Amino acid sequence: MATQYQNLSDYDATKVPDASAMKFGIVVSEWNQNITGALLHGAHSTLLKHGVKPDNIIIRFVPGAFELTFGAKKLAETNAELDAIIGLGCIIRGETPHFEFISQGVTQGFVDLNMKYDIPFIFGVLTDNDMQQSIDRSGGKHGNKGDEAAITAIKMAQYALDSQK
């Protein structure tokens, strides 16, 4: 979805399932910490807003976006009770192909995790052309991708639970 057409933090709260009995993991990249910290704040506060108990949110940090996949995998393997895992990161285009390699790698990593495990892994990674775009999408004029990732996690966790019935 194109951000210019939608604020990432705008959603219909009546369409969000009750999350009071759900448990979530959040893996956050330390790289571009000013951005990822804002994404974490958005995701965490949105989970709490929708009834998730503070003790039912596990937060782990990894060095960079590329490491999010491994961190999310380990979080799933060591916390079987989690209903969904959110990966939060920020990759900003530079002067070399590094941006493409990391973006493709972490994206494919999350696809693979979703195929391997029986819980949803939510891709909350910004892939922006410059720092201003990242600021705009982590609490700025386009809302907060962390909010969107949390809402997606709740909805997909409910979908997974409903699919087991």
Residue 67, classed as helix, strand or coil, is: helix
* Helix H or strand E segment including 112: helix 98-116
Of 78, 40, 45, 46, the closest CA to residue 59 belongs to 40
The one catalytic residue among 41, 50, 98, 142 = 98
Phi and psi (nearest 5°) for 65?
Answer: -65, -40
What is the rounded distance in angstroms from the CA atom of residue 34 to the CA atom of residue 12?
28
Burial of 91-117, coded b for 16+ CB within 10 Å and e otherwise, reads: bbeeeeeebeebbeebbebbeebbeee
Residue 41 annotated among the catalytic residues of the structure: no
Residues with catalytic function: 98
